[in-house]
A = this chain, B = another copy of it.
Amino acid sequence: MFLPKKIIEEKIISFLKEDAGLGDLTTALLIPPDVIVEAKVVAKESGVIAGMEETLILLETLGLEAEAMVSDGEEIRKGKVLLKIRGNAQTLLTVERTMLNLLSRMSGIATATKRLVNKLKKAGFGTKVASTRKTAPGLAYFDKKAVKVSGGDTHRLHLDDMILIKDNHIAITGSISKAVKEARERVSFSKKIEVEVSNVKEVVEAVKAGADIILLDNFSPEQVEKAIKVLKKEGLRMKILIEASGKITEKNILEYASKGVDIISLGELTHSIKSLDLSLEIERQ
């Protein structure tokens, strides 16, 4: 997800504008324009860092010098100094909250993602942990990027990405077979087609119709097991990727993985966040 700085800058500055309103009054009242300070961002709890690249762009854009002490994707301990900053005090105080909100949120997402990625890896599974489109509104780039730096899969970035045929599409089209066939006929060659299914019978129908990926929606581990068994029996398992989604949590993720799915996706990675606790400590020069 490489974007030139100029584009990221524009997104981030819009966050600052919202928070600044017509200006930081407290800072204007109390801080002389020419004060230079040094500051550091410190982790108040352990976790994984994401958003450092974006933070550096934000600070640089505002004319503040910044040096990152950790990289995106790095696991850090409580107390770690993440970032050193030097520059105009008015500017730094004005951007403080916007900067921390972004870095904390993205690091919170990265921390949760990494926990699941590591859990699967330690248990010896190659299963991918994927996010969904259940991001905070307007924050898809940042939420997906945070998932990515922790080794998670970004899944669809927007609606013009891969084809994902869901229950509602199937209902209106008439059947899974018909939906997959029609989609395949009309879709660009550059796109994969994934089909959401709700039972084992549909799994086979979708694969036979030519889907590239099957999304097992709200399957129990047992249903997953059965679906894969049937596919193997029919010699269809190698032709497709299998994603499981719904009802999967940190608790039961290993059980799902053990059934042999390729991808496990969880909406909560991006819709239910625990921000990583970070703080800015300023020292006057």
List the interface of chain A (C-beta within 8 A of B).
1-7, 10, 12-32, 35, 37, 61-63, 89-91, 93-98, 100-102, 104-105, 108, 128, 130, 133-142, 144, 153-166, 168-169, 171-173, 179, 182-183, 186-192, 194, 213, 241, 243, 262-263, 267-268, 271-275, 282, 284
A173 to chain B, nearest CB (A): 5
Which residues of B sit under 8 angstroms from A155, Cβ to Cβ?
A: 188-190
Copies of chain A in the complex: 6
Structural contact, B22 and A160, CB atoms closer than 8 A: yes
Choose from B173, B189, B275 the contact partner of A263 (Cβ within 8 Å). B189
* Top 7 closest pairs, chain A to chain B, by CB: A21-B158, A21-B160, A1-B23, A15-B137, A2-B28, A24-B159, A271-B275
Structural contact, B91 and A4, CB atoms closer than 8 A: yes
Structural contact, A7 and B13, CB atoms closer than 8 A: yes
Structural contact, B190 and A213, CB atoms closer than 8 A: yes
Which residues of B sit under 8 angstroms from A90, Cβ to Cβ?
A: 2
Cα distance A28–B1 when bound, in Å? 6
Cα distance A179–B161 when bound, in Å? 22
